[in-house]
Amino acid sequence: MGLTATQMSLCFQSYWYMWLTNGLAGLIFIGINIGVAAFFLRKFQLKKQASAYERTPQVADSSKRPFSASEIQTYEDPYADPYAGNISRASSRKSPMYPGASEDNEEFTESTLKLLNGYRARHSAEPLTVNEQLCEIAQRWAEQMARTGKLEHSPAEMRNFGRQTLGENFGASFQAELTGDKMVRKWMKESKRYMYGFDGRKDTENFTQSVWQGSREIGVGRARSEDGNWWYGVVVFDPPGNIPNQYSNNVLLPKE
């Protein structure tokens, strides 16, 4: 007995629905597997990236560092006086001032330190101390920006301090003198954009570095352009902040 046209149509419809259902289920299964694989791959990449940034904890007293001054490598500073020779990280001499640089940066350093520590206290972070060697590094880069007129981060090789690359914040002011108060308050305004508990972004990195729990020492530098119109300020931090996957433990909510 043959099938009627209606029965054949129902058979084809049943077969079509079964094929469509199985196909969709297969696609969903593949999509879930791809999503899970992508999640774990991303997690592995972030973990690997974070491990590359891990640093040995430092203490404020430089004499108690886990490495001695003799371990600090000397290097050729591309921005130094070509007749001055190599500059050693262990050297304690004063960095020569650029002709257009401010000759009185002591007040600038003190006001920067005072305001930074005030904000750090609000975020339950230990106070910072000034390190003369770090000040030399910060001053050299402030002078370089004053020469070139470019507001940018220094090359990593200029911030190699012992076994790590220093953190760095900078600021500038046109015509009006750049004060420590003005510079730090501008960085702190970035806190309005920061989402606590998450990694920071480029537009919040000055704030997060400033209140980073792990940082203990800073170096401060300031210079003025040769035409007198621009002021440039630099602060370097040791140990550095803004390390991926470590923000939640180092950038804490402000006290009420």
Number of H helices and number of E strands within the chain? 6, 8
* Dist. CA 202–CA 195, nearest whole Å: 13
* Residue among 189, 183, 227 nearest 207 (CA): 189
Strands 164-165 and 160-161: antiparallel
Q: What is the pLDDT of residue 45?
A: 60
Residue 113, pLDDT > 50, answer yes
* Residue 129 DSSP symbol: E
* Dist. CA 240–CA 250, nearest whole Å: 11
Phi, psi of 187, rounded to the nearest 5 degrees? -65, -40
Condensed to tens digits (0 to 9), the pLDDT of residues 189-223 reads 999 999 999 988 889 999 999 999 999 999 999 99
What pTM was computed for the model?
0.60
Length of the chain: 256
Residue 226, pLDDT > 80, answer yes
3-state secondary structure 136-204: HHHHHHHHHHHHHCCCCCCCHHHHEECCEECEEEEEEEECCCCCHHHHHHHHHHHHHHCCCCCCCCHHH
Q: Which residues pair with 231 in a beta bridge?
A: 173, 224
Correct CATH for 103-249 of 3.40.50.150, 1.10.8.290, 3.40.33.10, 3.40.50.10070: 3.40.33.10
Residue 69, pLDDT > 60, answer no
E-strand stretches of the chain? 74-75, 87-88, 129-130, 160-161, 164-165, 167-174, 217-224, 230-238
| In contact, 59 and 104? CB cutoff 8 Å | no
What end-to-end distance do the CA atoms of the chain give, in Å? 86
* Dist. CA 240–CA 256, nearest whole Å: 27
Region 79-86: mean pLDDT is: 31
Residue 1, pLDDT > 90, answer no
Residue 127 half-sphere exposure toward CB, CA atoms < 13 A: 8
Residue 60, pLDDT > 70, answer no
